[in-house]
Amino acid sequence: MNTIVTIAGLGILSMLSEIFHFKKQLFVLILLGLAAAIGISVMEWDTAYSYYNHMVLIDNYAIAFSVLLMSVTLLWFLMSQSYFKSESSMEAHAAIILFALCGAICMTCFSDLSMLFIGLEILSISMYVLCGSDKLNKRSNESAMKYFMMGAFATGFLLFGIALIYGVVGSFNLTDIATYTGQNVNNLPMIFYAGIVLLLVGLFFKVSAAPFHFWAPDVYDGAPTVITAFMATVVKTAAFAAFYRLFATCFSSVFTFWIDIIAIVAALTMLAGNILAVYQTSVKRMLAYSSVAHAGYILMALAAVSQSSKGAIFLYLIAYSLSTLGVFAVLNIIHEKKLSDDVSVFNGLAKSNPLAAAMISICMLSMAGIPPMAGFFGKYYIFLAALNSGFTWLVLMAVLSSLIGVFYYFRIVMAMYTGKNETTAFEIKGLPLFFLVLSGVLSVIIGLGTNFIVNLL
Amino acid sequence: MPFSYSFYILSALSVISALFVVFSKKPVHSVLYLIFCFFTIAGHYLLLNAQFLFAVHLIVYAGAIMVLFLYTIMFINMNKEMEPHKSNLAKAGAVVAGGVLLLVVMAALKGAETIPLQAATEKNTGMVENLGMVLYNKYALPFEVASVLFLSAMVGAVLLSKKELD
Higher pLDDT pick, B128 / B146: B146
SS3 per-residue string spanning chain A: CHHHHHHHHHHHHHHHCCCCCCHHHHHHHHHHHHHHHHHHHHHCCCCCEEECCCCEEECHHHHHHHHHHHHHHHHHHHHCHHHHHHCCCHHHHHHHHHHHHHHHHHHHHECEHHHHHHHHHHHHHHHHHHHCCCCCCHHHHHHHHHHHHHHHHHHHHHHHHHHHHHHHHCCCEHHHHHHHHHHCHHHCCHHHHHHHHHHHHHHHHHCCCHHHCCHHHHHHHHCCHHHHHHHHHHHHHHHHHHHHHHHHHCCHHHHHHHHHHHHHHHHHHHHHHHHHHHCCCEHHHHHHHHHHHHHHHHHHHHHCCCHHHHHHHHHHHHHHHHHHHHHHHHHHHHHHCCCCCEHHHHCCHHHHCHHHHHHHHHHHHHHHCCCCCHHHHHHHHHHHHHHHCCCHHHHHHHHHHHHHHHHHHHHHHHHHHHCCCCCCCCCCCCHHHHHHHHHHHHHHHHHHCHHHHHHHC
Share of chain B above pLDDT 70, in %: 86
Give the C-alpha separation, A417 to A415, whole Å: 6
Average pLDDT over residues B105-109: 82
How high does pLDDT run on average in chain A?
90
Share of chain A above pLDDT 70, in %: 100
A420 pLDDT higher than 90 = no
What pLDDT sits at residue B80? Answer: 59
Average pLDDT over residues A33-61: 90
Residue A119, chain B, CB below 8 Å: the answer is yes
Contact A97, A130 (CB under 8 A): yes
- For residue range B147-159, list pLDDT tens digits in order: 999 999 999 999 8
Higher pLDDT pick, A57 / B124: A57
Contact A424, A310 (CB under 8 A): no
The nearest alpha carbon in chain A to B152 belongs to A96
User: Which residues in chain B have their CB less than 8 angstroms from residue A8's CB?
Assistant: 148
B164 pLDDT higher than 70 = no
Average pLDDT over residues B45-68: 87
Contact A195, A250 (CB under 8 A): no
A232 pLDDT higher than 60 = yes
A136 pLDDT higher than 90 = no
Contact A292, A419 (CB under 8 A): no
Give the C-alpha separation, A86 to A96, whole Å: 17
User: Which residues in chain B have their CB less than 8 angstroms from residue A52's CB?
Assistant: 140-141
Q: Which of A99, A133, A190 lies nearest to residue B152, judging by beta carbons?
A: A99
Residue A132, chain B, CB below 8 Å: the answer is yes
Higher pLDDT pick, A63 / B2: A63
A325 pLDDT higher than 60 = yes
What pLDDT sits at residue A90? Answer: 83
What pLDDT sits at residue B117? Answer: 59
Residue B164, chain A, CB below 8 Å: the answer is yes
B122 pLDDT higher than 70 = no
Average pLDDT over residues A207-228: 92
Binning pLDDT at 50, 70 and 90, where does residue B78 land?
low
CB atoms within 10 A of CB B144: 16
Give the C-alpha separation, A315 to A299, whole Å: 14
CATH 1.20.120.1200 fits B1-79+118-123, yes or no: yes
Higher pLDDT pick, A336 / A398: A398
Binning pLDDT at 50, 70 and 90, where does residue A344 land?
confident
B83 pLDDT higher than 70 = no
Best residue in B148, B158, B163, B166 to probe A by mutation, most A CBs within 10 Å?
B148
What are the sequence ranges of the domains in chain B? 1-79+118-123, 127-166
Beta carbons of A114 and B139 less than 8 Å apart: yes
SS3 per-residue string spanning chain B: CHHHHHHHHHHHHHHHHHHHHHHCCCHHHHHHHHHHHHHHHHHHHHHCCCHHHHHHHHHHHHHHHHHHHHHHHHHHCCCCCCCCCCCHHHHHHHHHHHHHHHHHHHHHHHHCCCCCCCCCCCCCCCCHHHHHHHHHCCCHHHHHHHHHHHHHHHHHHHHHHCCCCC
- For residue range A160-205, list pLDDT tens digits in order: 999 999 989 989 999 999 999 999 988 888 889 989 999 999 999 9
How high does pLDDT run on average in chain B?
85
B84 pLDDT higher than 90 = no
Q: Looking at the whole model, is its pTM more than 0.90?
A: yes
What pLDDT sits at residue A342? Answer: 84
User: Which residues in chain A have their CB less than 8 angstroms from residue B145's CB?
Assistant: 4, 102, 106, 115, 118-119, 122
What pLDDT sits at residue B82? Answer: 61
What pLDDT sits at residue B120? Answer: 57
Binning pLDDT at 50, 70 and 90, where does residue A35 land?
very high
Beta carbons of B137 and A191 less than 8 Å apart: no
Average pLDDT over residues A279-291: 92
Binning pLDDT at 50, 70 and 90, where does residue A129 land?
very high
ipTM: 0.89
- For residue range A66-97, list pLDDT tens digits in order: 999 999 999 999 888 888 777 677 888 999 99
Beta carbons of B156 and A129 less than 8 Å apart: yes
What pLDDT sits at residue B48? Answer: 81
